[in-house]
C-alpha cells in the first residue's frame, strides 16, 4: 500500500486531520502512532531532510506555513512521490479554499477529507489532475447544496 495514513498537525502539535487508509490498527495503535510521529516530526529542525524511518514504515512530511503534512508509507515506496502527493493535496486545498489557511481546514474538515478522498483511495493516488479534482468537488457541492435546500 502506498500511503498508510495522512496527518495534519499544527506547529503546536494540535491534530487537524487524520486519515487512515487501513482499518487494521486499533485505536490505541493509531493514537500512539499519531503521538510518536507528530512529536518526532515537530522535533526536527528545518534543515533536516523530510524523510525518516519509524518502526516498519517510512514517514514523509513537509511543512506548509504553520501546518505539518505527514504521510506514512511503506518502506519501499518512493519518498519523492509521496512528497509530490502531499504537495498535490496542498495545491488542491489552496485552489478550493482560495488561499487556504489552517482555519479553513479546522472548520471545513469534512471538505478536507473529501479532497483527500478525491485524490487518494485506499492509500493509492487515483487522480493526479488538479482541475478534474476541483471540477468533481464543485459538482458535488452543488448536489449537496440542492439537497440541503430541498430539506
Partner 1 sequence: MFEKSLADLIRGLRANKKNEQKYIGSCLDEIRSQVRTNDPHTKATAIQKLAYLHMHGYDMSWASFHVIEVMSLQKTLYKRIGYHAAAVSFRQDTDVLMLCTNLIKKDLSSNNYVDTAIALHGLASIVTPDLGRDLCPDLIAMLNHSRPYIRKRVILVLYRVFLKYPEALRMAFPRLKEKLDDPDPAVVSAAVNVICELARRNPKSYLPLAPQLYGLLTNSTNNWMLIKIIKLFAALAPLEPRLIKKLVPQISSVIQSTSAMSLLYECIHTVIIGGMIGPETENGENEAQDSALARLCTAKLKLFIEEPDQNLKYLGLYALSKLLAVRPKAVVEHRDTILECLDDADVSIRMRALDIVTGMVTPGNLVQIVRKLMTQLLPPTADTSPSASYPPPSVTPILDATDRAHVIERIISICSQDTYTNVTNFEWYITLLTNLVRVRGVDVGTRLSAQLIDVSVRVPEVREFAVQAMTALIEDEGVMQSANQDMNNARVLVGAAWIVGEYCIYLVDPVRIMMRMLAPGVTRLPPTVQAVYLHNVLKIYGHWACTATDPTTTTQSILEALRPFKTSFDSEVQERACTLFEILHLALSDPALVPSIRALFSGELNPVAPKAQKRVPVPAGLDLDQWIHEPEPEPVQEEEEEEDNDRVPDEWFKQDVQEQIVDSDDVERRRQSRAERLKHDPFYIPSKPLYDDIDINEIPIVRLELNVPPEQIAPTRQVPKKKKKRPISPPPVPKTYSINRGGDMPENSVVSSEDDEVEHEVDEVTKAVMSVDLSLGEETRVESGTSQVDAKVDVPAKKTRTKSTKADKAGKTGKTGKTGKTGKKKTKTESKTKTDKRKKKKPVSIADPSLAPSTINKSLLAVRGLEMNTPYERVASPAPTEQAEQEWVDIGGDEQFQVAFKYKLLPSSTTLTLLFTNKTPSPLPLTATLSHTDQDLSMTLPPTSTTTRTLTITSTHHPTWLDVLGTKFLVPIPLSPESFNELVATTKWTYSARKTLPISGANTREVVSGVARVLGMELVEVVGDAGTLVMRGGQVVGLVKVLWETGGVLVEVRGVGEVEGVLERLV
Considering CB under 8 A, how many residues would be counted as binding partner 1? 50
User: Binding partner 1 by CB under 8 A: which of 13, 22, 65, 66?
Assistant: 22
Asked if residue 54 binds partner 1 (CB under 8 A), the reply is no
Asked if residue 98 binds partner 1 (CB under 8 A), the reply is no
User: Binding partner 1 by CB under 8 A: which of 40, 64, 90, 113?
Assistant: 113
| DSSP tally for the chain: helices H, then strands E | 5, 7
Q: Helix (H, G, I), strand (E, B), or coil: what is residue 111?
A: helix
Asked if residue 106 binds partner 1 (CB under 8 A), the reply is yes
Please choose, out of 23-31, 63-71, 94-102, the segment that lies near partner 1 by the rule CB under 8 A: 23-31
Please identify, using beta-carbon distances, which residue of 98 and 151 lies nearer to partner 1. 151
Closest distance to partner 1 from the beta carbon of 111 (Å): 10
Q: Is the Cβ–Cβ distance between 63 and 47 less than 8 Å? A: no
Q: Tell me how long the chain is.
A: 151
Asked if residue 13 binds partner 1 (CB under 8 A), the reply is no
Q: Is the Cβ–Cβ distance between 71 and 3 less than 8 Å? A: yes
Q: What is the 3-state secondary structure (H, E, C) of 128-142?
A: CCHHHHHHHHHHHHH
User: Which residues contact residue 86 at a Cβ distance below 8 angstroms, ignoring those fewer than 6 apart?
Assistant: 60, 61, 62, 69, 71
**What cell numbers appear for 6 in the block?**
495522512
Contact residues for partner 1, defined by CB under 8 A: 1-2, 15, 17-18, 20-24, 26-27, 31, 45, 47-52, 76, 78-81, 83-84, 106-107, 109-110, 113-114, 117, 121-122, 124-129, 136, 139-140, 143-144, 147-148, 151
Amino acid at each position: 500500500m502506498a500511503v498508510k495514513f495522512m496527518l495534519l498537525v499544527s506547529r503546536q502539535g494540535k491534530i487537524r486531520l487524520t486519515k487512515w487508509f487501513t482499518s487494521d490498527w486499533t485505536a490505541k495503535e493509531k493514537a500512539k502512532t499519531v503521538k510518536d510521529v507528530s512529536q518526532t516530526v515537530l522535533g526536527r529542525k528545518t534543515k533536516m531532510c523530510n524523510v525518516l524511518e519509524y518502526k516498519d514504515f517510512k514517514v514523509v512530511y513537509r511543512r506548509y506555513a504553520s501546518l505539518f503534512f505527514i504521510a506514512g508509507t511503506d518502506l519501499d515506496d518512493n519518498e519523492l512521490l509521496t512528497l509530490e502527493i502531499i504537495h498535490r493535496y496542498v495545491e488542491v486545498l489552496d485552489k478550493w479554499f482560495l488561499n487556504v489557511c489552517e482555519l479553513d481546514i479546522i472548520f471545513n474538515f469534512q471538505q478536507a477529507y473529501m479532497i483527500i478522498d478525491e485524490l487518494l483511495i485506499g492509500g493509492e493516488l487515483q487522480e493526479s489532475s488538479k482541475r478534474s479534482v476541483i471540477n468533481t468537488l464543485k459538482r458535488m457541492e452543488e448536489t449537496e447544496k440542492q439537497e440541503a435546500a430541498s430539506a
